Structure 1
Amino acid sequence: MTFSLVARCPDTGMFGVAISSSSPAVAARCAYVRAGVGAVSSQNVTDPTLGPRALDLMQGGMSAEEAVAEIRETAPFIEYRQVLAVDARGGTAIHSGPNSLGLWTEARATDVASGGNLLANEGVPQAIVDGYLGAAGHIGDRLIAALRAGLAAGGEAGPVHSAGMLIVDDVAWPVADLRCDWTEDCPVEAVATAWEVYKPQLRAYVQRALDPREAPSYGVPGDE
């Protein structure tokens, strides 16, 4: 009930996950990133323990391929899961269990991997990968472009209702964590709109955490 991508920006070292689903609040259960380590999406009859575990394995020295292989060998009910990972060198890996729902496919390249289930057609993940690689600018812009490309290629077999985008940079917390947990409209466009508002303020929110003395005002009442 989901399509997603994990990605690395080779210029900045930033990692991101972007995801959409017919299920509610998909990003809350499926998207995981860690600064300097990688990004993981754990989806399809979701086991939320797999994302942090894959990141732990990569932080311990494994590549994305090795981490996903370890999870494939040791995680329970792995035949029901999809796990996508990208590591600090841009290596990518995907596990799609044979019990993944409906039509499921995957695609990957250096710095980006995409997978989905209950898809409208087999070309959706490749369209997402191509959308990411063909876009320019901030990793957030490229993640949104990739999700839009997946929708344009057919997306899920039915309508999607939630979406999210999670980005990490060089601090210990996500520098962007944007979600639409449920809508009857397009959740991808809801997240895209949130990104357009958030993007100009992203660095200032980091600065406010690191040293609020240097943080700019944004003109809200009382903030002068």
Structure 2
Amino acid sequence: MSIEPSQKLPCLLLHGFTGGPFELQPLADYLRSSGRSCEVPRLPWHGEDLAQLKTGHWTKWIQSAEWYAERMSAAYGSFDIIGFSMGGLLAAYIAARYPVRKLILLNASVVYISPSRLLKVIHERWKHRDVQDLDKVKSTPIRATWQFTRIVRHLRPELTKVRVPTFIAQSEQDHVIHPLSARYIYNKLGGYRELSWFPKSRHLICLSDESVRLFHEVDVFLEKECGGENDEKDKAPF
């Protein structure tokens, strides 16, 4: 299937480690409402697949992402890609190797949360009796967490190979990935990039109170002509 010049490019959206399509579904629905075709696949090691979490290897994530990228390339020639959390590193890897026009990174996992920040998060969870995130951490097999650290180390250098226009969104209240990740990514990318901070949002940014603003900025970025000076909106003290 070829894309007419007047049509919007399709978009591939990649979810995070132990997550699922639900993490990106609201954004996909928003982009579809503006006339953009979106694919949000369920990758290996999603949150409901405990067996794969216990036995899977980090290369399966890359192989799965490449399978979808190859399918998009064959069908459309070029496409846009969005990655959330660990899916952000996969999206950067794809953007450096496939005919990706634009890259969107949402709370991409590069710098782990600091011990002091994690303790603060745990304190807040217990204070508000919100233990859902802690239960998920305890149910994730240690082997899967080790595989996660390996894929991050393997894919982090890929950021310097990215040359396509990139939009980086980062939650300032992210309790999983340290906000310094966004600054690191911004400094490593080789092409035009924009960095936008979301002061009230936590890790699941597409499900946050600032999601409407995020969706609008992503849509605007996908539609605009990119070039000139790089841009950082509402600079954060990280």
Q: Which has the higher contact order (CA 8 A, sep 6+)?
A: 1
User: Higher strand fraction: Structure 1 or Structure 2?
Assistant: 1
TM-score by length of 1: 0.28
**TM-score normalised according to structure 2 size:** 0.27
Q: Give 1 or 2: higher helix fraction.
A: 2
